[in-house]
Structure 1
Amino acid sequence: MAKGDMGIDDERSLMSEYPDFYSHGKKPIHEVLSQHALTTPQKVALNFYGREMNYGELDHLVNRFAVYLLQLGVKEGDRIALFLHNCPQYMIAHFAVQKIGAIVSPCSPSFKAMELSYQISDMVAKIVITSDTLYPIVTDIQEDSPLQHIIVTHYGDLLPGDPSFHCPDELLQERRATPFAHDFFTAIEQVTDEQVEYTVFPSVALEDVSLLVYTSGSTGRPKGAMLSYGNALFKTAASAMANEVLDGDRILAVMPLCHIAGMLMGMTIPIYTGCKVVLLYRFDPVAVAEAIAEEKCTWWYSTAPMNVAIMQAIPSGRYNWSSLTTNVCTSFGIQLTEDIANRWRAYTSGTPVYEAAYGLSETHTADTYMPRHAIKWGTQGIPIYETEIRIVDLQTGENLPVLQDGEIVVRSPGVFKGYWRNIDATKKTLRDGWVYTGDLGRIDSDGYLTLIGRIKEMMKVSGFSVFPEEVEALLMHHPAIAQVAVIGIPDEKRGEVVKAFVVCKSSKEDQKVVESDIIEWAKENMASYKVPRYVEFREQLPMSSAGKILRRLLIDGAS
């Protein structure tokens, strides 16, 4: 059967009967990296604006940095914070920390001092690895933190003299002074090959915690989800299989590595499969276009706003993107619709784009995948290998039949071990191996999951349940709207009513749109209880570093 003729039943058969799921054996990802370094040491592992690093060199740097951390007194189970933008140093540090049995905890590089202070203190981090540009934020919190050491790198240390594609100005700046800190590459250079050879690294077990990912904190303070080596291995192998990633692929990595989806798609999948990753510091339309064309990238994980931004900024046909065969995408900020997908396919002369997955930090993300040959728009796809998804009643917890809305619960080998130092939250979320996600959704007769919204963000309008994502998806059909976010605000008669925050498209015609235009259009296109009673126009919406709309900031501003 040709792949183009496959349907949903064929996809399920492929996932359930896969003959060699763990193609490298059941071992942590850092051991898979070492295996590649032995078998294909000269194969290029990553490209950073033209600076290439092969698997042998990458593993060599990981080993040296791991020895240095041991020399600093890092022990198994110690928490090490990574406070960095995308760069090769991030990957080196991530695998080095896990190689010695310590725990990696990513911190968003968009954090300000109070946010960083909370996470560093909550995890009781022994060391933070950061950049010279972020170093001042670390020094602001250091005195009242548990930190014993600060290790600093300069993003330009691994840039080529003449970058191959458009490079952000901040990477080209001179190194900033960082007194009282260890230098990343000076530390590595101090470790000899002999020291590496005679170091006995700890023997880690797949069930050991290796990653502490803090949730977004949409319901209270962020919580650290404890994920194991085995969680990462399972979800990496399952996602690589579902997305058909092979060792000959060239993956473009733009999403933040500190985000669980960016980590999976841009770091662990490339290392696991042994393919090449083209790593960008951040999203830039020109850099993405040049990287895909020059490096002949075959695979890209994007967000819908990225695709739209590229189509707006760069004329179609300027670059040859014939190599790009796979573009999985997440609807952050802008809903990925069939219309956008059709425009993208025409713009790129044939590249398909479709929803990537549903997932959360507590399951190492990607609990579903979208079968590329059986796409259902508006859904998040079907459960990935060895993953069970149920919809349960919010009050009784009983299983609900197809097409009924309820809480999404998930069980798989990717499920986390609980929240760091938070027994009550763990008991509430993790029950008999099932993660109660706090998300509302439904499953159709073909097994496709549709995400409706967060339970905590659900609005009650005149007794009707209204979900922000549903109203946002409907409003995105308005020809003048580029982005939209919806919240509920108190109302004496209805309990709550809908308020929409709208970013208009840039044309002069769209700039003439007023509040009443949006409301009248909504009345014609959705149930009355879903219609926004208020519309506020914004130039931009508050976003997380991963591109998620931060509705809680809109709610706080409206209260």
Structure 2
Amino acid sequence: MSSAKPWLRHYPSEVAPTYEYPKHNLARILVNTAKKYPDNSALYFMGKTLRYKELLEASYRFANGLKEMGILPGERVAIMLPNCPSAVIAYFGTLMMGGIVVQTSPLYMERELVHQLSDSGAKAIVTLDLLFERVQKAKSKTQIEHIIVTSIKDYLPFPKNWLYPIKMKKDGAKLAVEYGDGVSNFKKLLGESSASPICVEVDAEQDLALLQYTGGTTGISKGVMLTHFNMVANTYQTRNWCYQGQFGEERYLGALPCFHVFGLTVLLNQAMLLAGMLILIPKFDIDLILTTINKLRPTIFPGAPTMYVALINHKRIKDYDISSINVCVSGSAPLPLEVQERFEELTGGRLIEGYGLTEASPVTHANPVLGYRKIGTIGIPFPDTEAKVVNPDSGEEMPIGEIGELIIRGPQVMKGYWNRERETSLTIKEGWLYTGDMARMDDDGFFAIVDRKKDLIIAGGYNIYPREIEEILYEHPAVQEAAVAGIPDQYRGETVKAFVVLKSGMTLTEKELELWCRERLAAYKVPRRIEFRESLPKTMVGKVLRRQLLEEEQKQSS
């Protein structure tokens, strides 16, 4: 077994290579924990704490409220909320009554919203008063029958709940909502609905828990069908990997958005499984994050590299005590080595890089939290997860150390794409998920992502992987963030362009940065063009939108 799976010899002794995963409704995670730890703090939000028994009762009320509205098991309920208690209640409540959750980004504009709501056929949407106008405009082009409106102030302590509307009006925000005619108030709905327990039985391996839309960083956003079993298995896989977590003791810093599948699995589901306290941060604000760590002493901080970059480069980082953090799992984008080393130095905790994708619920690989790890790799496959590197054309397995497409098989792999049979058949073949990521595996079974297949730059016949160049750029002491993309070139077909954000107060010329790269890279990989920018366009999880950079580039050159 070990020869086919060389990574197994690097498993910590506490982690078994295979487990039995419960086959039940995903919401059962909350039900079970709330029965065992009713008085433990479940959620902390801007000064207000909700205990497990309160969260469970509110979720039951929401589930019964949806049933009263006529929502049936198997129907889709969209949740368009930042990290706040209403988002958690709506999520578990929908699952409890057998509905399918459609997580929707609060940043979506009308066009994106219409695509997702009409593609999923959602019957109801839970949103903020702040976003109501946008949702109302989109509604007529979708099958939405019910809009359930909550507000940030719904779960703020006194006097914040009283001051919030005053501040928002000062800032010019529109909070007015006309209720009735398919528009309901979230708190009123909970108050008027039954608190009787409900958690429907499901066929965990067939019934969907989520329709989770891909980020759309490479084109049109597709609905990924994740079953209850997919999500439960990945929650337990993550728990077994991070076996050091103590029941009822951990505090999770919820800076990752829970409408993203990474946030759902490693934050929300994980915290609920372990009876931890989830500290909900509605939007990433580095000052708020540092103050929160200093005051509330979270122990676990999953995030994206951009979050750790912002933290280690904060001008007053030394004024805060961030030593409570024991474990950070970084995902969603490559983690630069410089960032990892500096973060561990500041916290004394472990920052490990992992890997996942929406189509796998999402986590498939990670470095061991303690023990042997390899910096610059995504680590080794999770328990019950198989991985191979194959030739993208022939599908044959590549020799150790050679680059090919990463493919994955395991209990967390999606059922397929919603209403897209052709795309499903191209992505899942004989149970293997073709990730579209180019990778290599070493003798120890550690995998390294080289880049997206779609991001490969072919310049003058050479294959160039942007990530390698980005690593070199990050090593420069003046560079805070960098992204590399291939742009059209008459002579080479494509050429390398770097988009660079400098650290505050630092200066750097194109010539100096080009020289830095020339000393460290083969000539054909050196960026031919460099653009210094104030910021890089990113998704909510901090993944750089290379597509947007290329679209901006095309506009400038046309």
So what's the TM-score if we normalise by structure 2?
0.91
Query: In structure 2, what is the equivalent of residue 253 of structure 1?
Result: 254
List per-residue Cα deviations over 1:53-101 (Å, max 9, x = no partner): 1111111000000000001111111111111111011011011111111
Deviations 1:392-425 (A, max 9, x none): 0011100112110000000000010110000100
- Contact 1:336–1:354 at 8 Å: present in 2 too? no
1:399-457: CA deviation from partner (whole Å, max 9, x where unpaired): 11211000000000001011000010000001111100111011111111111111111
C-alpha deviation, 1:347, in angstroms: 2.6
Look up the match of 2:341. 342
SS at match of 1:134: helix
**2:188 maps to which of 186, 197, 219:** 186
Q: Is the 8 A contact 1:253 1:265 kept in 2?
A: no
The alpha carbon displacement at 1:490 in A equals: 1.9
Deviation at 1:293, TM superposition (A): 2.8
**Matched AA of 1:11:** Y
User: Given the alignment of the two structures, is residue 553 of structure 1 paired with residue 548 of structure 2, yes or no?
Assistant: yes
Distance 1:515 1:296 in 2: 42
The match for 2:3 is none
* Correspondence for 1:101: 98
Higher relative contact order (CA 8 A, sep 6+): 2
Residues 225, 361 of structure 1: 8 Å contact kept: yes
Residue 406 of structure 1 is matched in structure 2 by 404
Task: Report the CA distance between 1:288 and its aligned residue.
Answer: 1.9
Contact 2:332 2:356 in 1 (8 A): no
Q: Percent identity?
A: 33
Q: How far apart are the structure 2 equivalents of 1:352 and 1:412?
A: 26
Superposition map of 1:33-432 within 5 A: 33-161=30-158, 176-180=175-179, 181-193=183-195, 196=196, 202-207=200-205, 208-244=207-243, 245-247=245-247, 248-313=249-314, 315-330=316-331, 332=333, 335-337=335-337, 339-348=338-347, 350-355=348-353, 357-372=354-369, 373-432=371-430
CA distance in 2, matches of 1:342, 1:468: 22
Q: In structure 1, list runs of 5 or more residues that go unmatched.
A: 1-6
Q: 1:170 to 1:441 in 2, by over 3 A?
A: farther
Q: CA deviation at 1:283?
A: 1.8
**Structure 2: distance between partners of 1:126 and 1:517:** 56
1:3 alignment partner in structure 2: none
Number of residue pairs the alignment of both structures matches: 537
Shift of 1:536: 1.3
1:457 to 455, 458, 475: 455
Greater displacement, 63-72 / 534-543? 534-543
How far residue 14 of structure 1 moved from its aligned partner, in angstroms, is 3.4
RMSD: 2.3
Match of residue 495 from structure 1: 493
Q: Deviations over 1:223-245 (max 9, x none)?
A: 10000000000000010111223
The one-letter amino acid paired with 2:229 is G
For the residue of structure 2 that corresponds to 1:119, the secondary structure is helix
Give the 3-state SS of the residue equivalent to 1:29 in structure 2. coil
| C-alpha distance in structure 1 between counterparts of 2:380 and 2:169, whole Å | 40
How far does residue 138 in structure 1 lie from its aligned partner after superposition?
Answer: 0.4
Asked whether the 8 Å contact 1:266–1:277 carries over to 2, the reply is yes
Residue 445 of structure 2, aligned match among 444, 447, 452: 447
| Corresponding residue number in structure 2 for 1:466 | 464
**Partner Cα separation in structure 1 for residue 276 and residue 145 of structure 2:** 36
Q: Does structure 2 retain, via aligned residues, the 8 Å contact 1:330–1:336?
A: no
SS of structure 2 residue aligned to 1:414 = coil
**Secondary structure of the corresponding residue to residue 301 of structure 2:** strand
Query: 1:317, CA displacement in angstroms?
Result: 4.5
Report Cα offsets for 1:147-185 as digits up to 9, x if no partner: 101000001110112679xx9976998981111421101
Distance 2:258 2:168 in 1: 18
* 2:60–2:194 Cα contact (<8 Å) kept: no
Structure 2: gaps (5+ residues): 1-6
Tell me the equivalent position of 2:502: 504
2:522 counterpart (527, 542, 550): 527
Shifted more, 269-278 versus 56-65: the winner is 269-278
Separation of aligned partners in 1, 2:129 and 2:515: 51
Q: Which amino acid aligns with 1:107?
A: T
Alignment check: 8 A CA contact 1:21 1:237 kept: no
Distance 1:284 1:162, change over 3 A: farther
Q: For the structure 1 residues 171 and 201, does the alpha-carbon distance in structure 2 shift closer, same or farther, using more than 3 Å as the test?
A: farther
Deviation at 1:123, TM superposition (A): 0.7
1:14 counterpart SS class: coil
Q: Cα distance 1:149–1:49, how it changes in 2: closer, same or farther (>3 A)?
A: same
Once residues 153 and 292 of structure 1 are traced to their aligned partners in structure 2, the CA distance between those partners, rounded to angstroms, is 27
**Could you tell me how far apart the structure 2 residues matched to 1:378 and 1:32 are?**
34
- Name the counterpart of 2:4: none
Q: Deviations over 1:168-225 (max 9, x none)?
A: 97699898111142110100100134xx26xx65321212111001112233311100
Alpha-carbon distance change, 220 to 284 in structure 1, aligned in 2, over 3 angstroms: closer
